[in-house]
Structure formats: structure tokens, C-alpha cells
Amino acid sequence: MIRWGGFGGGAAALVALLALASAEHAQATVYTLASPDATVVGEDQSVETVYEDTLYDLARKYSLGSEELIRVNPGVDPWLPGAGRKLVVPGRHILPPGPREGIIVNLPEHRLYYFPKPKRHGPIEVITYPVSIGKMDWRTPLGTTRVIGKQKNPTWYPPESVRKEHAEAGDPLPASVPSGPDNPLGLFAMRLAAGNGTYLIHGTNNPIAVGLAVTHGCIRMYPDDVSALFPLISVGTQVRLINQPVKVAWVDGELMLEAHPPVDAQGQSFEPDIDQFAEMLRTAVGDTTVAIHWDYAREVLQKADGVIATVALEADDPNASEPVPAPVADPVPATTPAAPPSDTPAGDAVKQPGR
């Protein structure tokens, strides 16, 4: 079940104002899991643009990062898509691996998942939002940490390294920036124990950049998203930062694959190594006997656009039928190069090596 809700937000930077002028409030997604073992939430959609639309507006409306929507609609001008353009809106997500508690941020996915503590005998819910992550020398650290502080209307104290960078670029920063339209932290900030308290989950005065590697190591959210999440989080909440570009899930005997561009040590996305990605898929499958459509799987891994695809069927015997790739609406001609040949014929049932 999906519940949609809108929350107000604001920004004053000119580029942000341009995006906000015609954007509807973001639709925060709350998913109630059908069972504790559920692994996939949401649904993909197809929308038709109107004259006023930009991909930045639509990304915020559908709770996506800007690059997330642009990547799955190649060849579409993000500022001027034009009226009547059919767009794919990727809304399905494979839940990240590991314990379903607290906050989980998957860096390659540029996405945050929050698992509220379920009420007694109540269902498990997950709330998910797009985020920005760290770049350059300000690496968002991996591992498990926790929220150690919360602040409304925070004052920003730029680190010395950041002030030096801006000074060298001819854009000097003051020692502190009070709450307001010029504050890049937005109106809400949650401090993490990682990095001696230097890392934050916070809002932004530049919503267009959400979904990109453009922060100084912090995790940046849309203003309306962080205003919704902030009151739900208590000091001490666990936060797990993971690097999982390839995610898989078994659903009714079908192997679902979701791939995102990998990120380097500075949080920058780069082209995937298909052999590495294929090995991740083999490891994820483990010793399950499956019929993998390797040509199609490699195509999905090459695109790494976050759209979930069925790439294998669980097989009881080596003569299992070949899985048929689920059709995905593609409003523009594909630009992905042909998948490289595989040593394993498409559809052959294989016994994958154990982890």
C-alpha cells in the first residue's frame, strides 16, 4: 500500500526558484510491506508532459533525484522536454540488504530508506526519499553510525577546507551563515556521529541538485522531504551508509535485478565494469539453481538506470524454460551499446557458485 503526502518547502537561490516556480510539492512515499519478507516496493509509471514541465520539476514531484529521472529518459532535454512527451518514472525499488531498522542510505542509488519502529503487532513500513551524497575530498563515510543531534533553522559553520576552496575560487565564505535563504543546510539538520560529528542529513536551498554527488560529504534532501522526516527521527537512531550498486530480489520464483552506476571514493558516479557487475549478480544468486538470461542481464547492468528487470527464473531442473524479459516502456530510442557476448548461453540453467 502506498500513501502519498505533500509537504511545503522553500529556497531562495535563483536556480532553485526557477525549479520551484512550477513544481508541485514532492510526493513522499510510505510503503506498508505485505509481509516481513517483502523485498520490492513501489511501481514504475509512464507520464505525459505538459508545456510547463521540466524533468527537475517532475523528479521532485515523484520523489526522485534529478539524475535518476534524466538517466532513464535519455535524449530528453531536462529543461525543455516539450508537451506530450512520454516519460518513464522509475518508482519500484528493491529494499537494501541488511537489518530493516533506522535509516539506510545506499550511495550509488542516491536514496535514503527509513524503517520506523513498527507498533506492537503492526505492519512494517518503509519511507524512502532521494538524496545527494558527498563529492571530491569530502567522502561520505561508509558503515554504521547514529544520529547524535537535531536542529531546526541551523547555522552553517563552513569547515576551513570548504572556506579555502571558495576563497581560491574567488567566492569567499563567512565564518558562519545564519538560517535563511542563503544557508545550504536548509531549515532542518540531523548530525551524525560519523567523522566526529561533521556529517549531517539536512535540507538544501538548491533542490535541483538533489540526487547528485554535489555535497561536502553530507546527505542532502529536498526541503519538503527533510521537513517530513525530521520529526520522525529521534536522537540515537541508527544510520547505515552502504555502497550497493547491484541489488537483487526473488519474487515468485523470478530474479529481479536493479542496477545503479557505481560511485568512487569521492561519491562520483562512473561507468560500470560489466564483468564486475556480472560477478556481483553471480554472488547475489549464490547456489540457487536459476535460468539466467545473460544477454539481457548484461544489458540491464550496462544501462544501470535503476529500472528493475526480471533476468532469471528459479529452476528445479536444467531444462527450465528461458525467462522472458519484462517489457519496459522506453519513450526514446535506446542509446545503450549492445551487451557483450556471454560465455553462458541465454536462458541456460546454471548452478552458481556459493558466496
**Residue 166: active-site member:** no
Q: Phi-psi bin for 163: left (phi > 0), alpha (psi -120 to 50), beta?
A: alpha
**Residue 121: active-site member:** no
Indicate which residue of 202, 216, 260, 293 is catalytic.
202
Which residue is listed with cell 563529492?
A: 135
Q: Let me know: does 199 contact 217? Beta carbons within 8 Å.
A: yes
Q: Which residues lie across from 269 on neighbouring strands?
A: 263
Q: Which residues lie across from 113 on neighbouring strands?
A: 104, 128
Nearest Cα neighbor of 140 from 200, 189, 100 is: 200
User: C-alpha angle with apex 198: 186 to 112, nearest 5 degrees?
Assistant: 60
What's the length of the chain? 355
Within 13 Å, how many C-alpha atoms sit on residue 154's CB side? 22
Residue 266, classified by CB atoms within 10 Å of its CB into exposed (0-12), middle (13-18) or buried (19+), is: middle
| Burial annotation 178-191 (CB, 10 A radius, 16+ → b, else e) | ebeeebbbbbbbbb
Indicate which residue of 93, 110, 216, 218 is catalytic.
218
CA 5: distance to chain centroid?
Answer: 19
Nearest Cα neighbor of 227 from 196, 185, 256 is: 185
User: C-alpha angle with apex 235: 214 to 27, nearest 5 degrees?
Assistant: 50
Distance, CA of 209 to CA of 198 (rounded, Å): 21
Q: Let me know: does 303 contact 276? Beta carbons within 8 Å.
A: no
Nearest Cα neighbor of 264 from 69, 113, 107, 50 is: 107
Residues recognised as catalytic: 202, 218
